Structure 1
């Protein structure tokens, strides 16, 4: 993860509940239901390093037991901790989002310096006109986040940003607590020029880039060509 104002090194992990007893949070991505690494073991390893962590929750049942395990890590307020989940249906999204009320209820014991990364389920298909984030989608998200006490970053899919500028800039205008995190999937085709308006009109402290190194380098060159670096 990198903000243009500097480097924030984050390690990301997908979290689900183990599919058999003993039930506990593990590092795995659906459809997998088992793993050699538990969240507790992973957190023990992370504590020795000066890095932030981002936990991406793929199942609701994993949230509460994971929050309990996070207490020791969160005792260090200088370590960035992001909690990620897709809680709203988004453009092209086929996966079922986590139920937002249950998810937010499970994380309300976290310290207020924790960043909630709250996103939409999305999809992208090559060779078609992929819709962007609609007004309904951003308004639903804003209503959910309006009264939260946490900073919130919205993970947004780079390939869908060209057609979503008005909606996403409106969303950021609703609270100083809000930011965007631009991400991409390996299968996506993205035009980095589509990100230029966001860099031009939004403060650099409010956009993060979760992109492969090669694309991040290319983005820096694209912004420099537009006198925005």
Structure 2
């Protein structure tokens, strides 16, 4: 990786404030995105109880509109159409614990009513708030992304400290040559995000990173508001070695690793020694 320079912010700080928040609560030891622990699909009362009583830093949940009356935002992932907890109830419960939250939208229909509910509790939240959606088609993506302009228009009233997690629909198939993130893909999303005032993190699929280093490091270099969030699907196969170029050549405060604990911990113990902490 000769000729690659660290992508860094002054002082090694991420502009979105997530790491500073966790440091202030003594939940992590340094500004390192690999130290952040995640809990997924917190879409039921039982999963929420498990998340808020565990060691998680960020809890992620999916939002859709209930498939029948009363129509309101609920915590569920398609193809589910109902849930035992509404977004309103979920936010009230999270407020008591002040844990970081990532709300993943699967339809435009749910966005505006969800933002209205979120704005009511934001004055009582000091924790990181991330808003996620796939807004462009990415490598191997078959799902239809949300319209980026409609989605972002619904978020304009959110305070600028809210983090926008804006990604691509993707796919991955074992035993085939899976393409990475192309130059057109990173140029397209950067054009959309260039004029935004919010911090932006780009969710990127771990199994596609080895072939995307030049594109994604270029993307980070376009703004100090940008970060990456590395994620994986349960069926994906990748080697932690694929992530080491990012770990060693990008400021450790600018990449989160939303991975199983064993893989995330392995990364937190490797790389980054030459970077700001």
Q: TM-score, normalised by structure 1?
A: 0.94
Name the counterpart of 2:134.
Answer: 86
Determine the C-alpha separation between the residues in 1 that align with 2:80 and 2:93.
Answer: 22
The answer to whether the Cα contact below 8 Å between 1:159 and 1:188 also exists between their aligned partners in 2 is yes
The answer to whether the Cα contact below 8 Å between 2:247 and 2:267 also exists between their aligned partners in 1 is no
Matched, 1:191 2:239: yes
Aligned length: 227
The answer to whether the Cα contact below 8 Å between 1:90 and 1:137 also exists between their aligned partners in 2 is yes
Name the counterpart of 1:41.
Answer: 89
Matched, 1:132 2:180: yes
Superposed CA offset, 1:131-185 (max 9, x none): 0000000110000000001000000000000000000001111111000000001
1:99, distance to aligned residue in structure 2 (A) = 0.4
The answer to whether the Cα contact below 8 Å between 1:10 and 1:51 also exists between their aligned partners in 2 is yes
- Higher relative strand content: 1
Superposed CA offset, 1:37-91 (max 9, x none): 1100111111110201110000110000000111133214631000000000000
* Structure 2: gaps spanning 5 or more residues: 1-17, 20-30, 38-56
Report the aligned-residue RMSD: 1.8
* Structure 1: gaps spanning 5 or more residues: none
Greater relative CO (CA pairs within 8 A, separation 6+):
2
The answer to whether the Cα contact below 8 Å between 1:15 and 1:29 also exists between their aligned partners in 2 is yes
The answer to whether the Cα contact below 8 Å between 1:86 and 1:119 also exists between their aligned partners in 2 is yes
Runs (4+) off by over 3 Å? 5-8, 226-229
Determine the C-alpha separation between the residues in 2 that align with 1:208 and 1:228.
Answer: 18
1:116, distance to aligned residue in structure 2 (A) = 0.1
Q: 1:18 to 1:126 in 2, by over 3 A?
A: same
1:228, distance to aligned residue in structure 2 (A) = 6.4
Trace 1:6-45 onto structure 2 (pairs within 5 A): 6-7=35-36, 9-45=57-93
| 2:224 match: secondary structure | coil
Determine the C-alpha separation between the residues in 2 that align with 1:161 and 1:179.
Answer: 14
Determine the C-alpha separation between the residues in 1 that align with 2:264 and 2:72.
Answer: 36
Name the counterpart of 1:106.
Answer: 154
